[in-house]
Structure formats: structure tokens, C-alpha cells
Structure 1
């Protein structure tokens, strides 16, 4: 599994937080969710935290899930 990279974030004056991925907006968080993200960023790997919040990360089980009978695999 690779290390997530290319994420950055911007705190806005209105309290919202924008997460950018390779220069493109990936998520906008407001209110309590924005505050929760900022708290997590203080205590963890910023790249991994932002990848998790945007859903842009791999778990390593995509091939296994694709082949499962429930998902149409054989």
C-alpha cells in the first residue's frame, strides 16, 4: 500500500476547510466536521488523515472484493 500524497488544505475565514488533492478541490467541510478534521490533523499524519476524510485511499482488498460471488465474480 502506497503512502498518500498530494493533499493540502485551506482554512477559510468562515470556519470551513477545503481539502485539495493535486490542485483540485476534493472536499469542503464546515462546522463541527471541519473542527474535527483540524483536530485530527494536529495529531496524525496529515496526508493519511486527508486521504481518509476524502475517501481517496486504497485498502488493498479491491481485487478480492471484485472476485467475490456477491459482487458478480466467479
Structure 2
């Protein structure tokens, strides 16, 4: 994982996720919702989280699934 997180932003655990009773997964970045997963996508995501060994690996899985959503024009 050496070159993936050069600025060590994943150490701060910016991503969180919530799972509803119906199996819908909400992924948040710094408290703001950025992605919703349903059905097979949600199942695959939860399976990847189970196989991740550490919290940093879980953060990396969430970062990859959300994609490149920050463009520099986000409001504070």
C-alpha cells in the first residue's frame, strides 16, 4: 500500500458507512453522504470490507468505491 496513500489521509479515517435493514449501504466522507450502494453492489462492497485486514484497508476500499468525487469546488 506504499504509493497509494502518500499523504496519509486514510489514517484519519475520513470514510464511514451505514447499512440499513433492507441492505442499502450509505458511504460518507467527513460526515457527508457521497455514495449509495444497493443490491449486488452493496453485497460486493460488504464482502470486500470483510476481507480487509486493517482499518486503513477498509478506508482504501471505501475510497476506491466512491471514486474521484472531489474536484476542488466543494463548499465549506
TM-score by length of 1: 0.70
2: CA distance between counterparts of 1:35 and 1:28?
Answer: 12
In structure 2, the gaps of 5 or more residues are 1-5, 70-76
Give structure 1 regions of 4+ aligned residues with deviation exceeding 6 angstroms: none
State the match for 1:53 in structure 2. 65
> Which segments of 5 or more consecutive residues in structure 1 lack a partner in the other structure?
58-74
Q: Which runs of structure 2 are paired with 1:1-74 in the superposition (5 Å)?
A: 1-3=6-8, 4=10, 5-44=13-52, 45-56=57-68
RMSD of Structure 2 on Structure 1 (CA):
1.6
Q: With structure 2 as the length reference, what TM-score do the two structures score? A: 0.68
Q: How far 1:8 moved relative to its partner?
A: 0.3
Count of residue correspondences: 57
- Asked which structure has the greater CA Rg, the reply is 1
